[in-house]
Structure formats: C-alpha cells, structure tokens
Copies of this chain bind each other. A is one copy, B any other.
C-alpha cells in the first residue's frame, strides 16, 4: 500500500506513522516529494490486506491510502494466463466457437417451452435457457413455475438434446436446481449473495455469474473468487447491463466489460442483450456488437408470443426474429476469427 501523508505533518509526526506501520508488520519505504511525503508499505500483516489498508486510513496525518494489489487471486489472469473453457455436454464455452444460449425468459407452459426449444435448436442455438424460479422486484409479479418448470426444462433437454441453463435464486433450492440444470445461473441481484456463492462453490456444475446491476468489474471478479475458493472452477461471467441515468434502455449494456474481463481474468464471458437493453428492437444489433467485441457466448430471450409473455415480453424476440439473427451472426463471428 501507498500511504499519502498530509502536507502539514511534521517530520516527527511522519515518524509516528512509520513506527505504527512497522509495528503492524510492514516494510516501510518513505519517499519525500516536493509537495507530499508518501510511504510505500510492503509486505502484509496476518489478516486481509484490504482490511489492513482500511485501518491505515484511520491513522492521524494520513491523507489517503492507496491499495496496489488486485483483490482477487484465482480468477486473475496472472494466476492462469490461458483462457479457461467450460464444457457442458459437447458444447465448449470459451473456445473458438461463439455459443448461443436461447429460450424463454420464464418457463410458462409445456407448449411454450417445447415450441421455443425446438425452434431455437433448429436455428442453431446450442444451449436452452429458461427460468423456473424468477426474481421479481414486485412481490405481486409472477415468480416462476418452480419445480414444475425444472421438470419441463428437463423434458425439453430430453427431446432436443440441448443442455439447459436456469437460475438458482434461493440457497435452499441449489440442490434441486443442480439436479436438473446443466449450468446454474446466479442473477444480478444475487451477485453479492455470499451464501449462494459459497454453496455453489461446493457443487460440481458450471455456474454463470451475472454482473450486479452496479458492480464494478473488480467486485464482480471478487464474487467469482468466492466460488473458486469453494472449489468450483467452472465459472462463467455474464455482462447484463449496468444501471445508469439513461431511461430509454432498461440498463446500459457495457460491452467494454468483455475486454476488461479478458485483460484481468481467464474466465469465459457471456453477453445478455435482452436484459442489457430491455428492448426487443435492440437485441439483434447488440448481439452482433457483442460477438464483434469478443464475447464467448450470447444469452437471448426468445418467446413464441412476446405480447403474451408472463414476464419480460418487451425484451424477448419472436422465433422468426431469432431465425433471422442466427443467419446474420455467423458472418460477424467469422469477421473476428471465430465460428458460430
């Protein structure tokens, strides 16, 4: 850590800070500049370095404490310079091929799910999405079919051969959801639900961790680190838009996050243009942009009748619109050296 000393501190007062740092176990390197003295403190006390840096802010004469190290380890590129891949059935996420996950926001009925599953498979999707447990801002909103939804997803997998991804919302459902799903999705509201992060760290199924609505990249990687520490190394990240002042779109889809994750981490990254924009009209355009920027996969909401969807109709595209998109995406993938 770098400790910036207030300008008005005397040499004696600076000495006190140095003594305290040494008592806390740091190696101390003071540097006297023209306008400020800074102290580089090297090495670390027994407990967490960030906690320790936070303590130092409370010292007298300290103007600022700058933490240099990255606050995650196993998910960092430094730890694992090669890109990681996650395999689900015969689908590889993080390889050369861009993976398309598609399906309804929420499982509503056998017919709705199977119609959609067949259609997205026919169009070239290789993973089926569908919510059985749905988080809702409003307690009066439809909360999903639960176990019945999971069973329908399993039936759709049976018929189409598509692996399924579905959200786990409650820690007490993890076992149940894991029994049906091929990939467990952690939603944006649960990105810092440490109880769930710790539990999915112990299971033997891939986990897709959505970025929190206002999570910094760093916090998102720290959340992924929680899962890694538990022992589960099959973690996939998913950018789904962040909250800003803009109201025209539901969220602001941050495609530079794909590049940031690539620079900082080895984890594969998915983009969700449905949640990311909240507008069906923008899904095709943002899907192409996501592939062009280097996303490893897309997750797209498709519904046979968006105007009758029980949830999120406005951000679901129709089956014909999905078909059209799937004919357009391969050229973009090839243009950036990938296949689809």
The interface of chain A, by Cβ under 8 A from chain B, is 2, 4, 7-8, 20, 29, 31-36, 38, 40, 42-44, 47-51, 54-59, 64, 66, 68-69, 71-72, 78, 135-142, 169-172, 189-190, 192-195, 213-214, 216-219, 222, 225-226, 229, 242-249, 252-256, 258-260, 263-264, 276-277, 280-282, 285-286, 288-294, 306-314, 316, 328, 331-332, 334-336
Contact = CB atoms under 8 A, between A and B. Distances in A.
A313 B48 CA distance: 14
A259 B290 CA distance: 14
A237 B131 CA distance: 31
8 contacts: A8-B78, A137-B222, A139-B229, A193-B193, A242-B244, A256-B277, A259-B277, A328-B336
Nearest to A135: B194
Contact of A216 (B35, B59, B246, B294): B246
Nearest to A47: B142
Contacts of A222: 137-139
Contacts of A140: 48-50, 71
Contacts of A293: 285-286, 288-289, 292
Given A51-B310, A189-B192, A192-B135, A256 B245 contact: no
Interface centre among A214, A263, A280, A335 (most CB of B within 10 A): A335
A2 B277 CA distance: 22
Interface centre among A32, A47, A48, A263 (most CB of B within 10 A): A48
B214 A195 contact: no
Given A31-B29, A314-B58, A169 B195 contact: yes
Given A55-B309, A253-B255, A259-B277, 10 more contacts: A2-B66, A4-B68, A48-B138, A54-B311, A71-B137, A256-B276, A256-B286, A259-B285, A263-B281, A285-B292
A78 B36 CA distance: 12
Nearest to A187: B192
A254 B286 CA distance: 11
Given A34-B42, A139-B225, A313-B55, A292 B288 contact: yes
Closest 8 CB pairs of A and B: A292-B292, A57-B314, A331-B335, A58-B306, A289-B293, A58-B313, A189-B192, A58-B307
A314 B54 contact: yes
